[in-house]
Amino acid sequence: MTIRAIYNTLLLPDVSYYFKKDFFPNQEPVHTGADILFMLLKNEKEDGNYTPEDFYPIGISARIEGDSEGDTVHIRTLDRMDFSMVEIENGQINAAAAIRPEIQDMSEEEEKEEFGKLRTALLKFVQGYQWGLWARSFILQRKNMNDLVCALSDYLNLSPDDKYAILAADSRRERYELITRAVNEFMELSKVAEEAKTAQKDNQEQLYREAALKKQIDYLQKELDDMHPENVSDVRKFEKKIASSGMNKEAKQEAEKVLNRMRQEGKESHEYGMLYDYLDFVTSLSWKTPRMPKIDLDKAQAVLDEEHYGLKKVKERIIQQLAVMALNKKQHGSILLFVGAPGTGKTSIGQSIAKALGREYVRISLGGIRDEAEIRGHRRTYIGAMPGRIMEGMKRSGASNPVMVLDEVDKLAKDYGGDPASALLEVLDPEQNSTFTDHYMNVPYDLSNVLFVCTANSTDTIPEPLLNRMEVISFPGYTAVEKFQIARKHLLPKAMKAAGIPEESLEVTDDAIRRIIEEYTMEAGVRGLKKQMDILCRTAAVELVRKTGDTLHVTEENLEKYLGRNKLHLEKRLTQADPGVVTGLAWTRAGGEILFIESKLVNGKGGLMITGQLGDVMKESVQIALSIVKALYPEETKVLEEKTLHIHVPAGAVPKDGPSAGITLVTAMASLVTGKPVSTDYAMTGEVSLRGTVMPIGGLPEKLMAAQRAGITKVFIPADNVEDLEDVAEEVKTKLEIIPVKKVTDVLDRLLG
């Protein structure tokens, strides 16, 4: 019997196959009724040189049923065959073959049932397809499981091994299971592929649809624009601005939303203005991430020196900050807080930092802000809603990395309108400020490239969490010598320039400047001095215009002609020493001041009388002082049983509270009861405990400067404050005898013996 090799075909018993005639070379007996054996190849070889190992051991027998139409041969399979002793000679296969029995482990009904189930599933599956109708009749023609699976085998996802496994299964049940699995897998795979295809199509369709809709919108828009040409310019203008702004995604979305509203509403709408303002605001902000400019420390130092005289320590600290920024490659550093009296150069040095860095400068005044919305903005639902001051400042700067000076952070108030300090905290916190969201804008803005500098007169009223974020740098105020240099080098030339006075037309002598500082100003900073320079130049300008050509000479003698007689009534040292009167030193927001403590015994029935609007802490100091004096001078204080002790602290402008007048009060009372006057050369500051210990105080540099300004020559300070002398200008230290004391008796011994 002829043995034929066949590859990759699902062979099962009792199934019809149709072969091409050329599958059987001419010499072979292909006549009807001839028997033939098929062996399955594991692999196909191009040269056709097969060895026995290339065959699977199980094959099938078949009978040629006859020629069917034209060039095909109809074959019907019979039994599964076991092949052995395979030999191949000149392409001819010789082997022994024996029928391999099947294990009939399914009843006929069961077989029918399984076949029915599979066929139903298949019929259902093909329903959805265009070729479903053809497939339906094809499936309905299959008579049994073997027939069905062989007809479908080209469509199923079966490897040569899979096909052989079905043939090799001896148990019917096992074979049916293999077949069912193969068919089900095929159906599932087809479904998934189909779904993917539909999804892809949907996507494509959506894109087409979107493009078409956009075109339609554009078209309709143009028509609308033609009807309302007055709206067009604004809308187009913002369209362009939004596109070129570099806004982040959220901002762009919001802006486009507002722009759409603007289109719909039209100019007559009462909302139009609000929408316009919003778009104008967000498109005026800088949204571009700034390049990190190179920091040149020498240049920065030069700029700082050029614009500000003195302030050595402050400048040193600023340069350090810039160096750290350069190393970290960051546009911001720690937040500096400049603390000092008005006119000490805090704000203007902020401006110099911007100049030194080549960055924009913007100043925001926070004084008196009560409402959180002033920082964070009002929600746009309000009529007249506005952005907060921070974002408004960003707009003014026109940059995304300006140097922003936040002035007077100590004057933020807390009120029903929320807590502005906590809003400010969010602005300054590097963890949060990259997504700062102003309520008006309603979209995040990156503030992390802003270099913040804050200023304050004192740290007392700054909330702790805010203060913790900042690095305090104090501006202690200027000495007379420094003020002179500032006036000469900066204030006067600037004032002349502002008044349009050429350099050669006005000469102010050194003595004149010194007199202005001494008699017309009384301050830690140079604001008053600047004002006087301005007045001087304005008066000089009038004179110059009247009689052109001459150079004006301003001297100590003719100064009053220019500045008037409005000399300040200064708190100068007392000229006469009286028992019970002693000079103290106070710290105020405007710097230091001297103050006088006066005491007197008046007729009455004992006890204390206090006048001069003292605060509670100072009233307590009076009580403590009295107890100390009573203990130290038991004899002398006996008079207090019949007389009333009146304490008065004049000078209305100085706020009088705080404990630092302690030793002054004790000395004044001791001087009164002993009847010994205290020399007016002396001033003093120090808190005192009930045991008479002198405790440290704040604001020493300012106080000593005030003492020196007032002509005091000797000052008692708490011994614990000696370290603070480092911050006091040399000029002040050389002019004062500074006497540190530990106990109040040290003062009394020296002054009263």
Q: How far is the CB of 721 from ligand ADP (least distance, A)?
A: 24
* Candidate ranges 48-56, 337-345, 556-564, 596-604; the one touching ligand ADP (CB under 6 A): 337-345
Q: How far is the CB of 300 from ligand ADP (least distance, A)?
A: 16
* Candidate ranges 157-165, 191-199, 344-352, 368-376; the one touching ligand ADP (CB under 6 A): 344-352
363 binds ligand ADP (CB under 6 A): no
Helical residues (DSSP H) of 524-677, grouped into ranges: 527-546, 559-563, 616-632, 662-674
**Backbone phi and psi for residue 150, each to the nearest 5 degrees, phi listed first:** -70, -35
Of the residues 660, 679, 735, 743, only one is catalytic, namely 660
- Residue 592, annotated ligand binder? no
Cα–Cα–Cα angle for 606, 610, 615, rounded to 5 degrees: 140
Cα–Cα–Cα angle for 7, 12, 17, rounded to 5 degrees: 70
342 binds ligand ADP (CB under 6 A): yes
Could you say which of 231, 344, 521, 637 contacts ligand ADP (CB under 6 A)? 344
Cα–Cα–Cα angle for 246, 286, 332, rounded to 5 degrees: 115
Q: How far is the CB of 561 from ligand ADP (least distance, A)?
A: 25
Query: Counting beta carbons within 10 angstroms of the beta carbon of residue 140, is it exposed (0 to 12), middle (13 to 18) or buried (19 or more)?
Result: exposed
Question: How far from 195 is each of 121, 187, 589, CA to CA, in Å?
Answer: 19, 12, 77
Instruction: Report the alpha-carbon distance of residue 277 to residue 265 in Å, rounded.
Output: 14
Name which of 308 and 414 has its Cβ closer to ligand ADP.
308
CB contact at 8 A, 349 and 321 = no
Length of the chain, in residues: 753
| Sheet of 737-741, strands arranged across | 608-611, 643-648, 591-603, 581-588, 682-684, 714-718, 737-741
398: left (phi over 0), alpha (psi -120 to 50) or beta: left
Instruction: Report the alpha-carbon distance of residue 464 to residue 456 in Å, rounded.
Output: 14
348 binds ligand ADP (CB under 6 A): yes
Q: How far is the CB of 457 from ligand ADP (least distance, A)?
A: 8
Number of residues that bind ligand ADP (CB under 6 A): 19
- Other C-beta atoms within 10 Å of 745: how many? 15
Q: How far is the CB of 519 from ligand ADP (least distance, A)?
A: 19
- Residue 342, annotated ligand binder? yes
526 binds ligand ADP (CB under 6 A): yes
Instruction: Report the alpha-carbon distance of residue 76 to residue 19 in Å, rounded.
Output: 11
Name which of 344 and 685 has its Cβ closer to ligand ADP.
344
* Candidate ranges 197-205, 273-281, 343-351, 666-674; the one touching ligand ADP (CB under 6 A): 343-351
Could you say which of 17, 309, 562, 716 contacts ligand ADP (CB under 6 A)? 309
Could you say which of 266, 310, 430, 698 contacts ligand ADP (CB under 6 A)? 310
- Residue 531, annotated ligand binder? no
* Candidate ranges 181-189, 230-238, 305-313, 445-453; the one touching ligand ADP (CB under 6 A): 305-313
311 binds ligand ADP (CB under 6 A): yes
171 catalytic per annotation: no
Name which of 340 and 387 has its Cβ closer to ligand ADP.
340
343 binds ligand ADP (CB under 6 A): yes
Query: Counting beta carbons within 10 angstroms of the beta carbon of residue 646, is it exposed (0 to 12), middle (13 to 18) or buried (19 or more)?
Result: middle
Short-list 696, 698, 694, CA closest to 744: 694
**Amino acid letter, residue 64:** I
660 catalytic per annotation: yes
528 binds ligand ADP (CB under 6 A): no
Name which of 9 and 485 has its Cβ closer to ligand ADP.
485
**Amino acid letter, residue 544:** L
Q: How far is the CB of 342 from ligand ADP (least distance, A)?
A: 4
DSSP 705-745: HHHHHTT--EEEEEGGGGGGGGGS-HHHHHHSEEEEESBHH
586 binds ligand ADP (CB under 6 A): no
Instruction: Report the alpha-carbon distance of residue 615 to residue 200 in Å, rounded.
Output: 81
Instruction: Report the alpha-carbon distance of residue 715 to residue 206 in Å, rounded.
Output: 87
Kindly provide the residue ranges of all beta strands, DSSP E only, lying in 272-368, ordered along the sequence. 335-340, 361-365
231 binds ligand ADP (CB under 6 A): no
CB contact at 8 A, 335 and 428 = yes
- Residue 692, annotated ligand binder? no
380 binds ligand ADP (CB under 6 A): no
- Other C-beta atoms within 10 Å of 378: how many? 18
* Candidate ranges 267-275, 342-350, 609-617, 729-737; the one touching ligand ADP (CB under 6 A): 342-350
CB contact at 8 A, 587 and 702 = yes
Could you say which of 263, 346, 359, 363 contacts ligand ADP (CB under 6 A)? 346
Name which of 4 and 488 has its Cβ closer to ligand ADP.
488
Integer Rg of the chain from CA = 51
- Residue 493, annotated ligand binder? no
Of the residues 163, 315, 530, 703, only one is catalytic, namely 703
Q: How far is the CB of 534 from ligand ADP (least distance, A)?
A: 10
Strand bridging mode 58-68 / 403-407: unpaired
Kindly provide the residue ranges of all beta strands, DSSP E only, lying in 285-402, ordered along the sequence. 335-340, 361-365
347 binds ligand ADP (CB under 6 A): yes
Could you say which of 3, 30, 235, 345 contacts ligand ADP (CB under 6 A)? 345
* Candidate ranges 336-344, 443-451, 582-590, 604-612; the one touching ligand ADP (CB under 6 A): 336-344
Question: How far from 100 is each of 14, 94, 433, 533, CA to CA, in Å?
Answer: 14, 18, 83, 123
Q: How far is the CB of 341 from ligand ADP (least distance, A)?
A: 7
Name which of 491 and 595 has its Cβ closer to ligand ADP.
491
- Residue 347, annotated ligand binder? yes
Strand bridging mode 72-89 / 58-68: antiparallel
Task: Provide the mask over 529-548, with x wherever binding to ligand ADP is found by CB under 6 A and - wherever it is not.
Answer: -x------------------
SS3 263: helix
| Residue with the CB atom nearest ligand ADP in the bound state | 345
- Kindly identify the residues of this chain, within the stretch 482-521, that bind ligand ADP according to CB under 6 A: 486, 490
Could you say which of 119, 308, 396, 648 contacts ligand ADP (CB under 6 A)? 308
SS3 685: coil
* Candidate ranges 286-294, 308-316, 511-519, 720-728; the one touching ligand ADP (CB under 6 A): 308-316
- Kindly identify the residues of this chain, within the stretch 400-459, that bind ligand ADP according to CB under 6 A: 455
Kindly provide the residue ranges of all beta strands, DSSP E only, lying in 352-505, ordered along the sequence. 361-365, 403-407, 436-437, 444-445, 451-456, 470-475
Name which of 458 and 644 has its Cβ closer to ligand ADP.
458
Q: How far is the CB of 307 from ligand ADP (least distance, A)?
A: 7
Question: How far from 260 is each of 95, 211, 217, 517, CA to CA, in Å?
Answer: 86, 19, 12, 62
Q: How far is the CB of 452 from ligand ADP (least distance, A)?
A: 15
361 binds ligand ADP (CB under 6 A): no
474 binds ligand ADP (CB under 6 A): no
Active site residues: 660, 703
Which residues bind to ligand ADP, rule: CB under 6 A?
Answer: 308-311, 340, 342-348, 455, 486, 490, 525-527, 530
Binding site listing: 340-347
Binding site listing for ATP: 340-347
